[in-house]
Structure 1
Amino acid sequence: MIGYDEALAHILREAKPLPVVPRTPVPGQVLAEPVHSREDLPPFDNSAMDGFALRVGDAGIAAGAEFEVLGAQAAGDERVSAPAGAWEIMTGARIPDGLDAVIPVEQVEVLARDDDGKPARIRLQAEVPRGQHVRRHGEDVRKGDRFLAAGTRLDAPQLMLLAALGVSLVDVRAAPRVALINTGRELVDDPARPLASGEIRNSNGPYLAQRVEQAGAELVLRQTVSDEVDAFFIAMEEARSAGAELVLSTGAVSMGRYDFIPDALRKLGATIHFHKVAIRPGKPLLFATLPNGALFFGLPGNPASSAVGLRFFVEPALRAMLGLAPERALRLPLRGGRRAHHALRVFLKARVELDAHGRLWAQALPGQESFRIAPLAQANAWVVIDGSAGDLPEGAPVEVCGPGHLLGLTLEGVQP
């Protein structure tokens, strides 16, 4: 049995960054190269308000000034020149050349209208300084700016920015291809099927599949197999054919009669780097490399053990394959304290919450047994305590990690 830090070092030595490929931007991709803008954003000076565009100069114009309305400019209209007068203008419309400020329609008195009912003469009801309500070209992003750094994970805001700047291809790390194999003749995948005696529903499969994809990987195979070596070998061959660069299994890695995976991997020619880590839950975890270079993680079958194995062993490997730097955990005060029970590094289902003074606290939830799923659904974080920590009083700083490596610790579900 080895310690967590040593186990993680083994994993990171084997997990190599994947090739850089040009791709159409989609959520979950990780940029391998920085992105520079080929144009200004906004691309032209435009109005931030519905109102009237004016030429006011450095001194501005005082309330009470009157102007003839010489034209109108709507969003999408082409470039025009207007050295004098007022132009009715809509939000987002290009500012006519020669004008330098906008007064909102609410601050204007219409003195006359033309035959079509459009404003023909106006009086200002407020002072107008130069540049008021004008969005300058390049004010958001300038041409040539690096606006997204390498290592950025693309999500909705990044996709919005790429779309606004007309970026159709980005250089990203290829998504790690992952195969998921759940072992156990007791497992039932169909949620509508009544359970026979001794059967349980496969809860690890949906959980791990979702987390793998949220971590930026592509799930290329998902199978449930019985506790038979031949069935496992068939699934492993299908994983190889699917191009899996990381294979993830659950169950059959402990010391029981049906825990066949370590011997099966040896028969396949795999190199087992470690089997058993000084952690709780999830101590029987196994890590190996297959003959074709693919990584293999054998996670214990209990739900919390599988969740810990994915979060703190598999996801660091995926992060390295995506070219991302190691994660940095938060440190928050522990509510309620904790008595030391053993010398293992423990991963606790936890909640991060705000107190009445706006301070964040981490609290371990009841029900830390590895078979319990309900506390996992209530948790919004993990509290990690090293085996050497001893007893921890109320308020002791502890390491706190979010529910997923690439998700980080979010405040979703944080309650005062």
Structure 2
Amino acid sequence: MIGDMVRPGAPERIAVQEAINRFTAEPVLAARDWPPFDMSAMDGYAIGEETLGEADQGMLWIGAPQYAGAPAQQLAPGEARPIATGAAVPANASAILVRERATIVRHHLQRPEALVAGANIRRQGEDARAGDKLLEPGRCISPALIGALCAYGVVSMQVCRRPRVAILALGDELKSVGNTLDTSIVDSNGPMISALLGNAGCDVTLLGSIRDEEFAIASAFEQLLRSQFEFIVTTGGASVGDRDLLRPAVERVGGDVQFHGVHMRPGKPVLFATHPDGATFFGLPGNPVAALVGARFFVMRAIRARLGLDAERPTRTFDEIPEAGPTRILKAMTREGSTDDCVEILPAQQSHMLRPLLSANAWVIRGGEEPSTLFPLFDTLNEH
């Protein structure tokens, strides 16, 4: 449902040097040939076709050096020209003799052993031709891709805009990090969700906590809507208690609740709502592991859709009889290997227990009458 209701955002054009970890919004084409000309692959000597063949005792006179960046001149008859790696190859040169294999006698090059035509020459366009499609939409830009695109003459590219996310904690009892007493409850969810979404490339604003009052929550929502945040993520206040005021506040500002409550543990009270202005609301539970699960699997599904990416696939599906009952999302640790024994379900699965996350690197999703699956602890969008 979430993937169907969140659409890709408008793209923006940015310089290719600034595109690290951004996602392409349209195909990227090469702007020029690479290599842009026939280029020497080695330091050595450019020789003509008449010198190819069996080695003999003839000598080639050594011409002026050909350096990178200088225009190539035709080889004269009987000439061997010193050439640097990356230098343009003379049009009538047939091969490059590697310098280490050259024999120089009295400022002349002894005719080399047999060379294959084209040896040690990088041909123009052998890696890419101008107009070649290099990347499809939805590709995450890595440092290596930035280097390649620059070589192919790409100066700028259309990428998906960073999703704008506001994070708000609901609860009179919450205190910010560093502003607590021994008996205070720290808002650990806000920094955790902010880090998760920031690591996914979102433009995140962490707003702290707000008191449990419907009008105050709705007023905060109205301000965020005016500020054109695309995603409004809250933690706490999502259940059905007397002080759980998220849903009425969402509906008060015109939000359309698509679902409220999921048959799963942890994270049952999660809320998903849309707004006519295009914003999306996610109400995550207050227990920290439940909040993390909601952000990891529900909010990140929306972020993927916003970036034009498909739903995440599990890294593994287990061969076992599906279990009935609610879907359970279990903290797990995987080890090297490929057998079932290499996946350990960690102890302390309660939604308030954070210590297992210090060693967890995966989630096992079990139950709901579906085969069990394995997902990494975090959705690594940049590996897409």
TM-score (norm 1): 0.80
| Residue ranges of structure 2 left out of the alignment (5+ in a row) | none
Cα shift at 1:306:
1.8
* Gap change, CA 1:71 and 1:364, over 3 Å in 2: farther
DSSP-derived class of the 1:350 partner:
strand
Checking the alignment, whether the CA contact within 8 Å between 2:191 and 2:206 is kept in structure 1 is no
CA RMSD of aligned residues (A): 3.1
Checking the alignment, whether the CA contact within 8 Å between 1:14 and 1:295 is kept in structure 2 is no
Aligned to 2:352: 371
DSSP-derived class of the 1:72 partner:
coil
Checking the alignment, whether the CA contact within 8 Å between 1:401 and 1:408 is kept in structure 2 is no
State which of 207, 219, 222 in structure 2 corresponds to 1:223. 207
Aligned to 2:44: 51
Aligned to 1:159: 146
Aligned to 1:346: 328
1:111 corresponds to 2:105: yes
Checking the alignment, whether the CA contact within 8 Å between 1:333 and 1:362 is kept in structure 2 is no
Cα shift at 1:190:
3.8
- Letter in structure 1 aligned against 2:363: W
Checking the alignment, whether the CA contact within 8 Å between 2:103 and 2:110 is kept in structure 1 is yes
* Gap change, CA 1:291 and 1:100, over 3 Å in 2: same
Cα shift at 1:126:
5.5
* Gap change, CA 1:171 and 1:210, over 3 Å in 2: same
Cα shift at 1:73:
1.9
| Residue ranges of structure 1 left out of the alignment (5+ in a row) | 1-8, 113-119, 391-396, 410-416
Aligned to 1:169: 156
1:232 corresponds to 2:223: no
1:3-402 → structure 2 map (5 Å cutoff) = 9=1, 11-25=2-16, 26-56=19-49, 60=53, 62=55, 66-84=59-77, 85-112=79-106, 120-123=107-110, 127-191=114-178, 193=179, 195-219=180-204, 221-229=205-213, 230-331=215-316, 343-355=325-337, 361-389=342-370, 398-401=373-376
Identity %, equivalent residues: 33
For residues 245-298 of structure 1, the C-alpha deviation after alignment (integer angstroms, 9 at most, x for no partner) is 111111111234432212222222321111110112211101112342311000
- Letter in structure 1 aligned against 2:330: L
Count of matched residue positions in the alignment of Structure 1 and Structure 2? 380
- Letter in structure 2 aligned against 1:382: W
Cα shift at 1:359:
11
- Letter in structure 1 aligned against 2:260: H
For residues 353-397 of structure 1, the C-alpha deviation after alignment (integer angstroms, 9 at most, x for no partner) is 323x8999544334433223343343333322232258xxxxxx7
Checking the alignment, whether the CA contact within 8 Å between 2:221 and 2:253 is kept in structure 1 is no
DSSP-derived class of the 1:354 partner:
coil
Q: Distance in 2 between matches of 1:352 and 1:280?
A: 21
Which is worse superposed, 308-317 or 151-160?
151-160
Checking the alignment, whether the CA contact within 8 Å between 1:248 and 1:299 is kept in structure 2 is yes
Q: Distance in 2 between matches of 1:255 and 1:18?
A: 33
Q: Distance in 2 between matches of 1:66 and 1:402?
A: 67
